[in-house]
Copies of this chain bind each other. A is one copy, B any other.
Amino acid sequence: MAAERLVVIGGDAAGMSAASQARRMKGPRDLEIVAFERGDFTSYSACGIPYWVGGDVAGPGDLVARTPEEHRERGIDLRMRTEVTGIDVAGQRVRARDLVSGEESWTGYDKLVVATGARPVRPPLPGIDAPGVHGVQGLDDGQALINTLSRTKGRRAVVVGAGYIGVEMAEALLRRGYDVTAVYRGEQPMATLDPDMGRLVRTAMDGMGITTVGGAAVSRILTGEDGRVRAVATEDAEYPADVVVLGIGVEPRTELARTAGLPLGPHGGLLTDLAMRVRGHDNIWAGGDCVEVLDLVSGTTRHIALGTHANKHGQIIGANAGGGYSTFPGVVGTAVSKVCDLEIARTGLREKDARAVGLQFVTATIESTDRAGYYPGAEPMTVKMLAERRTGRLLGVQIVGRAGSAKRVDIAAVALTARMTVEQMTALDLGYAPPFSPVWDPVLVAARKVTTAVRDGAA
């Protein structure tokens, strides 16, 4: 018998990273690890689904970093197709149902990891459950969509929502030869950007042949005589559709946690301390898409469903649950994406985020190129930068451009973490050579311009 038992709820990035790291810290004689997963897959890249649908990735197997068998070989008692249906915090046990046999049983724990992930927002609209309407959260969803696409003769696709998932799915469907319409609520696509930057994305999407319909709230999904989707309807219009993909965001899957009395934040995610321990519970950790994280720029908590955070959380939880010590300081809100050859990146606060937390700011937007203007293949890039009024502290950066744009946001992500001022940024020693950057990197050009705005504002 192992000295103690660690139970993990959820077999994707956060849960299995935690299990694996705990196993590296302690062997099976010291720590028994039991992990429950409702679905058929472990440790997979949900972020890769659009590229699978678009045909860039051959199959779901490519998106699986580690299979159930591989986890079991590492001494993890992994129970697939088994859903945890209750957490008894006082009794230190979880109730789980075998989804094949229907049997339920209790499993005790000394330490618990909650990694229940997120689910796609699916508004209760008429027709939302009709055949041909798909979310793309898990590999099963991806496979279901691909099955629909292979069976469907029509070539009209409507993507509802134009955030990361929405634009990536628009690209995927375009690559598969569909006429794609993106219908979204906001004024511009990519509401994670300020509208002036989102407008650049919209213009580019229009240029790619994607029909963009902004300011449009979907009111119902219309079905044909066969019961399948035939159109997406707003108050004013109908958009014919042979297939509909929902990309309207995700929300933390925290009903289990709520029922068990674990603390949730304003966005419905679990609240943890810096060691990723659920607040008020010494032996329960939580991470990945089901938690809220500290935003280091605004000082508030946010819900960000992103594989890279889930993996970090899992590592940290596993280290702590395995008797070590590690903390997650928080995020600055970095995200990168692309739609065809357009790269989109952001980090830190948008204008409205800054306003919401009482920060006054100045902004500057510049146009430059990814490499020296005279070097072949130089492509335009727009960089917007926000700095706090008076102090000049960097608050956020948004970038829209072609090749070489997105990952430049990392410069700002590190600068935000270090709480640099934009004037300090103007002196950053960034890599320069004509194939890689103009002599003033676009991020430096933006920093210079916003530094001037800070000075002018202070005068």
Residues of A within 8 A of B (CB): 13, 45, 47-48, 51, 56-57, 62-63, 65, 164, 306-309, 311-312, 328-329, 331-338, 343, 345, 347, 372, 374-376, 404, 406-411, 413-415, 417-418, 420, 424, 426-437, 439-441
Contacts and interface: CB of A to CB of B under 8 A. Distances in A.
A427 B306 contact: no
A47 B434 contact: yes
A374 B63 contact: yes
A150 to B, nearest CB: 21
A129 to B, nearest CB: 29
What's the number of copies of this chain in the assembled complex?
2
Contacts of A430: 308, 334, 410, 413
A63 B374 CA distance: 7
A91 to B, nearest CB: 35
Nearest to A343: B436
A433 B47 contact: yes
Contacts of A439: 13, 45, 47, 65, 307-308, 311
A431 B413 contact: yes
Given A328-B427, A414-B428, A428-B414, A434 B48 contact: yes
A176 to B, nearest CB: 15
15 contacts: A45-B434, A47-B433, A51-B434, A56-B376, A57-B376, A311-B439, A333-B429, A334-B430, A338-B435, A406-B431, A407-B437, A410-B431, A414-B418, A414-B420, A414-B428
Given A312-B426, A336-B436, 19 more contacts: A45-B372, A48-B375, A51-B374, A51-B435, A57-B376, A65-B439, A306-B432, A312-B427, A329-B424, A329-B427, A334-B432, A337-B433, A404-B407, A410-B410, A411-B414, A413-B429, A414-B418, A415-B418, A417-B418
Nearest to A309: B429
A338 B62 CA distance: 31
A42 to B, nearest CB: 14
B375 A432 contact: no
A112 B366 CA distance: 32
A429 B47 contact: no
Contact of A374 (B45, B309, B424, B432): B45
A320 to B, nearest CB: 14
Contacts of A434: 45, 47-48, 51
Contacts of A413: 428-431
Contacts of A372: 45, 47-48
Nearest to A307: B439
Of all A-B residue pairs in the complex, the 9 with the closest CB atoms, nearest first, are A418-B418, A336-B431, A308-B432, A414-B414, A62-B374, A334-B429, A331-B429, A332-B429, A410-B430
A413 B412 CA distance: 12
Contact of A432 (B328, B336, B424, B429): B336
Contacts of A347: 429, 431
